[in-house]
Amino acid sequence: MRLKTLEISGFKSFADKTRIDFLPGMTGIVGPNGSGKSNISEAVRWVLGEQSAKSLRGSKMPDVIFAGSADRHPLNRAAVSITLDNSDHYLKSDYTELTISRLLYRSGDSEYQLNGQSCRLKDITELLMDSGMGQDSFSIISQGRVEAIFNSKPEDRRNIIEEVAGVYKYRKHKEKAQRELDDTMAYLHRVEDIIAELEGRVEPLEEQSNLAQDYLDQQQKFALLDRTQLVRQLHTEMAQKQTADTQVVAKQAQVAAHQAAAQEQAATVQALKQQQTELLAQKDALQEKLVTATQQVEHSQGQVNLSGEQQRHQDEQRQQLQAQLTMLSQQLTTNQTDLAAVQAESDQLATTMKDAQDAIRQLTAATDPQVVTDLRQQLEDQRTAYFDQKQQVANWRNQRQYRQQDQQRLQQQGQRVAQQLTQLQATAQSAQTAVTEIQAKATAHKAQLNEAEQALDAEAGQYQQHQKQYQALQHNWQAALEVYQRAQTKVANQQASSAEYGGFYQGVRAILKQRQHFRGLLGAVSELLDVPQRYTTAVEYALGGQLQQVVVDDETTAKAAVGYLRDHRAGRATFLPLSTVRGRQIDRQTLQLLHSMTGYLGVGSELLTINDQAQVILQYLLGTTIFAANLDTAVAISQRIHHRYRVVSLAGDVVSASGAITGGQSTQSHSSVLRQQQELQQLQASIATMQQQLTDQETKIKAQRVALQASEQRSQALQATINELQPQCRQLDDQLANAQTTLEQANRRVKAAELEIQQAHAGETDEQADQLAEQIVQGEAQITETEAAVKTLQAKIKQVTTAQAQQQSELTSKQTWLAGAKERQQQQRATVKQLQADIAAAQTDQATATTKLAELERQQALTPADAQAQLAQAQADRQTIEQKLATTNEQLTTVNDDLAAAETANQRTSGLLQLANDELQQAQVSQTQLAALIDQQQNQLSEKYQLSLAAAEKDVSDLPADDLAVQLKLLKRGLDEIGTVNLNAIDEYREVKERYDFLTQQRDDLLTAKAQLMTTMTELDGQVKTRFKASFDQIAAKFTATFRHMFGGGTAELVLTNPDDLLTTGIDIMAQPPGKKFQNMGLLSGGERALTAITLLFAILQVQPVPFCILDEVEAALDPANVTRFARYIHQFQDQTQFIVITHRKETMVQADILYGVTMQESGVSKMVAVDLDHEETRTEGK
């Protein structure tokens, strides 16, 4: 492989696109300081993936973009492309020429390309890995790189050998494995810590879980039986309540009937009393009138008898009226006093009733079942707290007892272990000696095994390569087979569609399916035409539906086909009988004109072919259709022939003979029967090609399989060789492992003994035990407080239950009294009304007497005649009043009798009402008690089991009542015997056990991963050691020989600073130039050190040649003689390495085959000029 070209554009001082062609031989690049020579080597380093802006002499990566000059603006992009000749496939790529490009924009965007295709930096790095052209490789060597060799530390110089040995990828793999191992170990330690914590919890939790599960099983059985008992009790009580409800309804109806009767009788009594009052008032009035009339008669008689006594009589009458007024006043005062008393009593009764109603409301609230429910919930909470406290105290006691036992055990064990410690230490020392001896033997045997394994690794790499190729071939074959099968499926589908004449009109399809019944039927036009693919679109749009016209031999066949379509109602079709259809053609003059026009393709009948029998059909359909290249030429042709014929373009645009233009593009893909037939033919041709390709692929696969089997056989032979060596190594490994195990066990025992002794001393003073004792005392105090609270709540519940029973009785009594008080209040209201009526009557009589008295005062003494007339009138008035009074007395007697009877009936009804109310109250009390009991038991069912009655009825026991009671007692006793349990232990144990099992599995997986990683790292270390040692030995030998050649004598050596540790050893350079002593390179002069470093680079190139090497002023510190020797020595490697030397030393320029000059004709912009020195020399010699 060699470097062909380098293209630079916008990179540093190369503002213009610059191309450098590298020919075979040594290429020199020269130019004055600051001209941009080194920018070429940096461009190569940059395009190969350099990521350090500092190494490119910049502060940030965009600094590599041309920054402008006095006459030029800055550029926005830098681009570098390097082309490599990979015809020998030096790089692992199938390409014979590789072009790697890198672009960077000032915005920071960048891009890598490989042969013009975008790729990643990783792809470039992997392509160049171990090729000698990667980072830190020797394909680009600057003066600073030479100085770094003799200025660096010995440990840093080993990187040079590692690059040659190609262990970079092994180091990367090991670093990755080490990171994975560190992560694995960190996670393993965490897992082991968690497992150690969980191991102490699993067994106690398992015991607690089993006990809790037993408790739950018995509790579940107890709950079932308890629910059954509650359900049965509820059914009984609900039946009793239903009976009580019926009784209450009946009693309420009876009370209502008695109340209605009482109200009716009270109304009757009230009406009779009102009537009695009215009659009494009427009687009193009549009696007063009778007295007045009698008095008037007597007065008149006196007037008649004794007119002189008239005055005396008036005086007496006046006295009587005054006495009557006095009596009425006293009666009115009495009635008013009675009315006030009755109203006061009524008001007091109302106040008492209000107090009774308030008391009833208070008693109703006091007898609320929720009070007892809340108290019972508080009691349950206290019991739960009590059980938790008991459990905690029990745990603390167990911990204290355990620690006490542990302290005793540790003290006894410490005494015993102290006696064994000396013996254990001696055993550990013996085990260490055995491990050292076995390790030495194992190292020697493994060295022999490594050589065999390296050979197997090489064969394994070849086998993997064969396997990758085989898999790639197989993958390609499967992909090709899938494409082939899809094509076959598509062909089958299209053949099926063709067999069914898919895409044809209904009538045409029906005729073609029955074509065997019509001998003269040739087929559809699309079936008979042979259309080149170029003209397919034009023919489709030119003919359109005519492609589905059916060609027949004569009219008879056409008529038969039409009759078939009509009889079967199968659609319509157009038939072209050969006997009647006449072809059409363009006249000769027009044809001559068309041939001279641009864009003319031909006449359709000449461009297409058809079945020989149907040639006339082609002439008929396309004999006058002209094909043009495009629409423009079609329009031009149509205009030139004066629109006499139809013109169609290849795109399907049609210019008709009338001048109309039809064209455009449909939004949907157009698939006509003609195109379907062409696609089918193309697919069939493709399938034939695919079959051949599949056959070729299968042949390659078989050949690759044979190669794979041969490689596998060679690997098996090598493995057999390794198998002979491995038993000895395994035996030594086993012995070493056993010895190491013995050593580890002995060390662990020593450490365990020392730890046990420390624990024994530390356990003598246990502060935690004292703390546990204090916690136990505090816990027991809390238990005592909780017990007191439980007892207090139990007493309060009992007190509240008793008080509610008493209050319920008081409530019933007050409700009964209130009902009677309401009746008394009704009677008082009637009495008030009666007194108010009596007061009104007395006031009326009082007004009448007052009026009479006033009248009497106005009367004067009468004459005897007037007195006689007055007497007669008075006697008549008295008689009338006596008759009315008799009638009133009779009515009053009747009313009194009716009133007495009504009052008797009313008293009897009131008694019955009172009895009915008492019975109703008793029934309501029973109903309320049953409802409260049912509600209480339903609440209990809901609170204890979170079930309704309907839900509880679905899951009950069928045990008889007696057996149920016995089982409940036994289960209750069993639960009491189990005592307090930790119900959370079930879930906790399950979670802990699941986590413990999971973490145990994780630990096993991590240990396996650790072992695998350790094995991988060991194998990688072995590879690194082997490759490093082999490369070092080769380079050291070449370095010694090259040193003598470069210095013209003397000697030099590469020395390992730590030969026993090939993974970390440094490298010292010892040199003895001619005439000097053998000494470290650091003691040489500057020129000698530079030449020694260059010598080492030449030695490395001999061991691992690189395709090309760019030397950037590496010989700047050498004197002319050494520069000449340096330049001549380069020519020895021209056959294996292409050298590009950047220099300003004349001695080097002379040895170059091609010389490029870098100049800055324009300030800040580098330009290239080239000279072929061999050609110039030859031309000079020819002259």
Adjacent-strand bridge partners of 9: 79
- For residues 360 and 807, give the distance between their C-alpha atoms in angstroms, rounded to a whole number: 9
What pLDDT is recorded for position 853?
Answer: 75
- For residues 906 and 267, give the distance between their C-alpha atoms in angstroms, rounded to a whole number: 10
User: Quick check: 709 pLDDT over 50?
Assistant: yes
Residue 49 carries which DSSP code? T
Hey, is 1137 helix, strand or coil? coil
Hey, is 662 helix, strand or coil? strand
- For residues 547 and 528, give the distance between their C-alpha atoms in angstroms, rounded to a whole number: 10
Query: What's the mean pLDDT in 1083-1103?
Result: 82
Output the DSSP codes for 301-322. Answer: HHHHH-STTHHHHHHHHHHHHH
Percent of the chain with pLDDT over 70: 86
- For residues 1040 and 1053, give the distance between their C-alpha atoms in angstroms, rounded to a whole number: 6
Which residues are annotated binding-site positions?
Answer: 32-39
Adjacent-strand bridge partners of 114: 100, 117
- For residues 78 and 12, give the distance between their C-alpha atoms in angstroms, rounded to a whole number: 8
Instruction: Give the dihedral of Cα atoms 126, 129, 131, 134; nearest 10 deg.
Output: 100
Residue 408 or residue 379, greater confidence: 379
What pLDDT is recorded for position 169?
Answer: 66
The set of residues, in sequence order, having a beta carbon less than 8 Å from that of 768 and lying 6+ positions away, is 403
Query: What's the mean pLDDT in 102-108?
Result: 91
Least confident among 122-126, 716-720, 891-895, 1092-1096: 716-720
Q: In the chain, helix, strand, coil percent, each to 5?
A: 70, 10, 20
What pLDDT is recorded for position 1181?
Answer: 29
474 pLDDT band, cuts 50/70/90, is low
What pLDDT is recorded for position 907?
Answer: 82
Percent of the chain with pLDDT over 90: 8
What pLDDT is recorded for position 721?
Answer: 75
Which residues are annotated binding-site positions for ATP?
Answer: 32-39
Both tokens assigned to 90: 């030096």
The set of residues, in sequence order, having a beta carbon less than 8 Å from that of 569 and lying 6+ positions away, is none
pLDDT digits over 740-784, tens only?
777 777 777 777 677 666 666 655 555 666 777 788 888 888 888
User: Quick check: 602 pLDDT over 90?
Assistant: yes
What pLDDT is recorded for position 276?
Answer: 82
* Number of C-beta neighbours around residue 1176 at 10 A: 11
707, 473 Cβ separation under 8 angstroms = no
No. of helices (H) and no. of strands (E), the chain: 25, 25
Query: What's the mean pLDDT in 415-425?
Result: 70
1179 pLDDT band, cuts 50/70/90, is very low
576 pLDDT band, cuts 50/70/90, is very high
pLDDT digits over 303-313, tens only?
666 555 556 66
722, 407 Cβ separation under 8 angstroms = no
pLDDT digits over 191-215, tens only?
677 677 777 777 787 777 887 778 7
- For residues 301 and 743, give the distance between their C-alpha atoms in angstroms, rounded to a whole number: 166
Question: What's the mean pLDDT when you consider all of the chain?
Answer: 80
The set of residues, in sequence order, having a beta carbon less than 8 Å from that of 433 and lying 6+ positions away, is none
Least confident among 292-301, 404-413, 457-466: 404-413
Query: What's the mean pLDDT in 1161-1175?
Result: 73
- For residues 1072 and 1055, give the distance between their C-alpha atoms in angstroms, rounded to a whole number: 14
1106 pLDDT band, cuts 50/70/90, is confident
What pLDDT is recorded for position 1176?
Answer: 45
Q: Which amino acid is at 303?
A: Q
User: Quick check: 861 pLDDT over 60?
Assistant: no
Residue 889 or residue 409, greater confidence: 889
Least confident among 356-365, 491-500, 652-661, 1119-1128: 491-500
pLDDT digits over 251-308, tens only?
888 888 888 888 887 888 888 888 888 888 887 887 777 777 787 777 777 666 655 5
Adjacent-strand bridge partners of 20: 6
What pLDDT is recorded for position 562?
Answer: 92
Both tokens assigned to 261: 């009767």
What pLDDT is recorded for position 143?
Answer: 72
- Measured CA to CA in angstroms, residue 937 lies from 230, 245, 800, 933 at distances of 7, 19, 17, 6
Which residue do the tokens 């009659």 mark? 279
112 pLDDT band, cuts 50/70/90, is very high
Least confident among 52-61, 468-477, 618-627, 788-797: 468-477
- Measured CA to CA in angstroms, residue 853 lies from 292, 322, 839, 858, 866 at distances of 12, 8, 21, 9, 21
CA-based end-to-end distance of the chain: 37
Residue 887 carries which DSSP code? H
pLDDT digits over 212-254, tens only?
778 778 777 878 888 788 888 888 888 888 888 888 888 888 8
What pLDDT is recorded for position 1177?
Answer: 43
Task: Kindly report whether the global pTM for this prediction surpasses the value 0.85.
Answer: no
- Measured CA to CA in angstroms, residue 186 lies from 180, 1000, 1004 at distances of 10, 16, 14
